[in-house]
């Protein structure tokens, strides 16, 4: 018994944390890189995708100059401890070195559980854990942002490697016509 007590007292001194108070994993899903042209358009597409996934961008925590977009917490309380949760999404945009107009997008979605035992429905008393990543949601958001810029079609090389028919020619825009003056 004395050994267990001595070990419990020594662990915090040695730098080993007691309990489950670990830092959340904030690494996210990273796209391989794509051409987006203008950063402003990529920022806007990322914001719209965040909203489409149910997250509200937090203007106070977003840093356009730093290329980081953070959402507000989506809180879903439940009447049992550990069943309520909150989620937050972060999108970080990275420029690809030596390629003007090329970017990669890193998406991170964290879900924290409410560990409050006495009043789990009271948001003021909520006890949130460090959170765990939601890789499926991260992949979905990253894919949606990337495919906005690269399209949904496969490359001609992929088509030839797998014996697919060639892609249809792109649709030409309609010619603009000048309105005829009224007589």
For 7-17, how does the pLDDT look when each residue is reduced to its tens digit (9 = 90+)? 344 433 333 33
Query: 15 is written with which tokens?
Result: 């730098």
Give yes or no for residue 62 having a pLDDT over 80: yes
- Give CA–CA dist 60/1, Å, rounded: 51
127 has pLDDT over 60 = yes
pLDDT of residue 162: 67
Q: Among the residues of 1-104, which ranges form H helices?
A: 2-14, 39-52
Name the region of 53 (left: φ>0; alpha: ψ -120 to 50; beta: rest): alpha
Indicate the pLDDT class of residue 168, thresholds 50, 70 and 90.
Answer: low
Lowest-confidence region among 70-79, 115-124, 154-163, 165-174: 165-174
Token reading at 123: 């948001």
Confidence of residue 71 (pLDDT cuts 50, 70, 90): very high
Note the pTM of the prediction, 2 decimals: 0.67
77 closest CA partner among 109, 52, 112: 112
Which of the two residues, 108 and 158, has the higher pLDDT score? Answer: 108
Query: To the nearest whole percent, how much of the chain has pLDDT over 90?
Result: 38
Q: Confidence band (pLDDT; 50, 70, 90) for 29? A: low
- Show me where the domains of the chain are located: 35-151
- The DSSP bridge pattern shows strands 102-113 and 29-30 to be antiparallel
Please state the rounded mean pLDDT for residues 124-143. Answer: 91
Give the DSSP letter of residue 30: E
Q: How confident is the model at residue 100 (pLDDT cuts 50, 70, 90)?
A: confident
Mean pLDDT value across residues 139-149:
90
Long-range residue pairs from 52-61, CB within 8 A, at least 24 positions apart, any chain: 52/144, 53/89, 53/137, 53/140, 53/141, 55/87, 55/88, 55/89
CA distance linking residue 147 with residue 34, whole number of Å:
9
């Amino acid at each position: 018994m004395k050994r267990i007590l001595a070990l419990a007292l020594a662990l915090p001194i040695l730098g080993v944390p007691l309990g489950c108070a670990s830092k959340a994993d904030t690494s996210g899903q990273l796209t391989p890189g794509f051409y987006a042209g203008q950063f402003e358009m990529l920022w806007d597409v990322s914001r719209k995708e965040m909203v489409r996934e149910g997250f509200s961008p937090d203007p106070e925590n977003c840093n356009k100059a730093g290329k980081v977009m953070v959402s507000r917490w989506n809180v879903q309380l439940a009447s049992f401890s550990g069943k309520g949760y909150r989620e937050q999404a972060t999108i970080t945009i990275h420029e690809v070195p030596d390629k003007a107009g090329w970017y990669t997008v890193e998406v991170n979605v964290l879900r924290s559980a409410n560990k409050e035992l006495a009043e789990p429905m009271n948001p003021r008393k909520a006890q949130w854990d460090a959170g765990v990543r939601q890789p499926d949601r991260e992949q979905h958001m990253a894919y949606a942002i990337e495919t906005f810029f690269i399209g949904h079609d496969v490359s001609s090389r992929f088509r030839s490697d797998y014996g697919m028919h060639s892609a249809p020619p792109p649709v030409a825009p309609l010619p603009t016509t000048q309105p005829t003056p009224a007589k």
